[in-house]
A and B are shown apart, each in its own frame.
Chain A
Amino acid sequence: MIQNDKLIEQIVDRYDKDVGMLIPMMQDLQAECGYLPVNQLRDLSRQLEVPLSRLYAVATFYASFRLAPKGAHEVTLCMGTVCYLKGAPSISEAICREFRVEPGGTTRDGLFTLQAVNCVGACAVAPVMLVDGKYYDNVTPTSAIEILYSLATDKAIAEKEAET
């Protein structure tokens, strides 16, 4: 990660301080931090000379911006028409029930953030789930839960290795 106090300056310079490029700037900030920390937003608003309220308006309007940190993994469940018809709602229910998480929320242990999106454009192999950008096709409630548990196992293995 780039040093914090320089981060906003660098991002703003990348787009020549063009306020029209506010959304790409905020996307860069999110890519860097994983979410939009309020201090950074304040800094960005000061440097662009744009009220913080406008940044907040943008951050809350677009679904891809997050104002809270996300979990270690990013789980995206497609809720497009085809995935929906082929059973995405029951997958979502199963995940929520099994891991006690709400769509848009993060599991208590911070293992993953669950996000439901409109369509990821892989309708031919629906239902689709993404974990950290990797596609899983023809997912079922059972297979989805298995995939997510394997994240937990991977984490446990990694921790064990770190200990020894």
Chain B
Amino acid sequence: MTGLGNTRLCGPADLERMRQELLSRRVPSAKSVHVCTGPGCAAKGSPKLYELFCAAVSQAGADVQVQAKAVGCHGLCEYGPIVLVQPGDIFYQRVEEPDVAEIFRETVLGGRLVEHLLYENPATGQKADTVDKIPFYKVQKRIALAYNGLIDPTSIEDYIAAGGYTALPKVLNGMGSEQIIEEVERAGLRGRGGGGFPTARKWRSCRQAQGSPKYVICNGDEGDPGAFMDRAIMEGNPHSVIEGMLIGAYAIGSSQGYIYVRNEYPLSVERLKQAIEQARELGLLGQNILGSSFAFDIRINRGGGAFVCGESTALMASLEGRPGEPRAKYIHTVESGLHGKPTNLNNVETWANVPAIINRGGEWFASIGTEKSKGTKVFSLVGKVVNSGLVEVPMGITLRQIIEQIGGGIRDGKHFKAVQTGGPSGGCIPAEHLDARVDFDELTKLGSMMGSGGMIVMDEDTCMVKVARYFIEFLQKESCGKCTPCREGLAQMLHILNRITAGEAEVGDVEELGVLAELLEGTALCALGKTAANPVISTIRYFRDEYDAHILDRHCPAKECRGLFRYEIDPEACKACGICMKNCPEDAITGEKKVPHVINQEKCTLCGTCWEKCPFTAVLKV
């Protein structure tokens, strides 16, 4: 710790003293530059920006009060790398290395805005200088992501100064187990990992279960492709997860926790490890936490890259050092989970919501959202939408609001076709249901599900049969193979979908898919298999015409499935430049100077090279 002298906090008073001390050290006029190092911004080179800002800070004179901070995902990844200057909430987007000096000179030292780095509303052309003026952030409500982008995830002091670790002493100082569970019950918190099971009921069952020790697990195996909510929380505010787990463990009566993190998230592992170390140093983990008799510690396990390990029993098998195969759940894991002991497993986002519920009360949390889905939900809004990024919205908001108001609509002036929610277990929701409210039950009614929070927007160029095929292929590869319906059923479904997308399908194939889907839903062992057919069922339900076009007309309406459409050159648009001719690997294009070129359909293998290379978009898919 940096000079606070109290390495171990012996009671809530110590913690409060530390917080006051941290706050009193802050100079109100001091500037702070926040560089987003979330996955999106990091991919665009933000760690280098952070280094440059640090260098600039160290070169600034001693009279300048300024610091640079690397913070977690800020959400608007599309416009990354994002840099915020505090105080003032000044929002700079698409910052590049040469801009660092300018920001430092103009904004940090001079207090002036750097106009060309401000966000410009594409619809109105208006510039926004602060975060709250950007439409993307206006509709959002942040609980789980509240401190993301504000605090340095590698500093426990930042979390404490921002009001972190206030729920824990509140709990230790006189809230009984039942009282905590009641508060969570009042909040109406439901599992954010996909299933939406009431968290309080799970905690209570685990508390009441016979057997010891009891375990709590944080499921950070965010396997759904297209989802990075949990990653953003683990990397942007790891202490919120730890504090949530501490509270849960105290309520349940557990002294050992595990966080299971996906193999693909090495930075999450690093951040969590560091956070756990810091919490241990301060006595917020370990024996006699904050001077009480409560003891709890957390161990991190890295996954091995198996999607099925997001399923609770498979995850526990993996924690026991075995292949991640699920088991039937007629005995719940709250009674017999890890090592056969009562185990309570919640998702990262669920845990991160807990401190806020304790601090602000269950009623406050329940005042947000719909009747049966309370609070907020984090979504990764991605795909063919203008503003890709991470959003947190109150439950009950409509899909249209998310996609149009926050997401800014569809890219490149295309038309919306569907939004896929719930990952491989979810489904595709078409335009006619865009006014549906986002809530656990509503999405299930539409044949999709809330899932962990991936929201993938698709436009007119997306073939829905191919989307279904993608998910079935994904699940077929990831099926652990323990139960026959999943192992064989998915293989057969993939076989049929391959036939359809290759234009070799037969009439009756769609019905066959329906039969297999029913079989999977009714007989598969775990949730992976039971919900595996959802992408197929929902696309058949809403986009049957596309299936029929593939099967009856041998035509792909979205022109994505190779062989089910042709390439042609538009003689009006063709400038006879010869680029397509030069690049065609089959010499299928003929033409001369000043004469529009023609594709010889018999020779064409539909590789699409001409379409990619044409500088005048004269090659058309028909």
A residues with CB within 8 A of B: 19-24, 27, 54, 57-58, 61-65, 79-82, 84-86, 90, 117-126, 128, 133, 135-137, 141
Contacts and interface: CB of A to CB of B under 8 A. Distances in A.
A17 to B, nearest CB: 12
A118 B223 contact: yes
Nearest to A141: B612
Chain B interface residue number, banded: 35 or more
A62 B324 contact: yes
Interface in B53-83: 77-78, 80
Interface string B76-92: 01101000000000000
B159 interface: no
B324 A61 contact: yes
B3 interface: no
A38 B262 CA distance: 25
| Residue among A85, A125, A126 with max Cβ neighbours from chain B (10 Å) | A85
A22 B317 CA distance: 11
Given A19-B321, A85-B456, A123 B226 contact: yes
A137 B44 contact: yes
Contact of A135 (B43, B262, B306, B323): B43
B301 A81 contact: no
B505 interface: no
A122 B302 contact: no
A119 B231 CA distance: 12
Given A123-B228, A135-B43, A81 B454 contact: yes
Nearest to B380: A123
A57 B306 CA distance: 13
Given A81-B456, A85-B384, 18 more contacts: A20-B320, A23-B301, A24-B302, A54-B322, A61-B306, A64-B303, A118-B474, A121-B222, A121-B228, A122-B228, A124-B40, A124-B80, A125-B40, A125-B77, A135-B42, A135-B43, A136-B43, A137-B43
B211 interface: no
24 contacts: A20-B319, A22-B321, A23-B302, A24-B302, A58-B322, A61-B323, A62-B323, A63-B305, A79-B225, A80-B226, A81-B471, A82-B226, A82-B456, A117-B305, A118-B307, A121-B39, A122-B43, A124-B39, A124-B40, A124-B78, A124-B380, A124-B382, A124-B390, A135-B39
A121 B306 contact: no
B388 interface: yes
B324 A118 contact: no
Interface stretch (B150-158, B263-271, B563-571): B263-271
A63 B323 CA distance: 11
In the complex, the 10 A-B pairs of residues with the closest C-beta atoms, listed nearest first: A62-B304, A124-B77, A22-B321, A80-B225, A135-B43, A121-B228, A61-B323, A64-B305, A63-B305, A119-B225
Interface string B278-308: 0000000000000000000000011111110
Contacts of A27: 302, 304
A82 B304 contact: no
Nearest to B324: A61
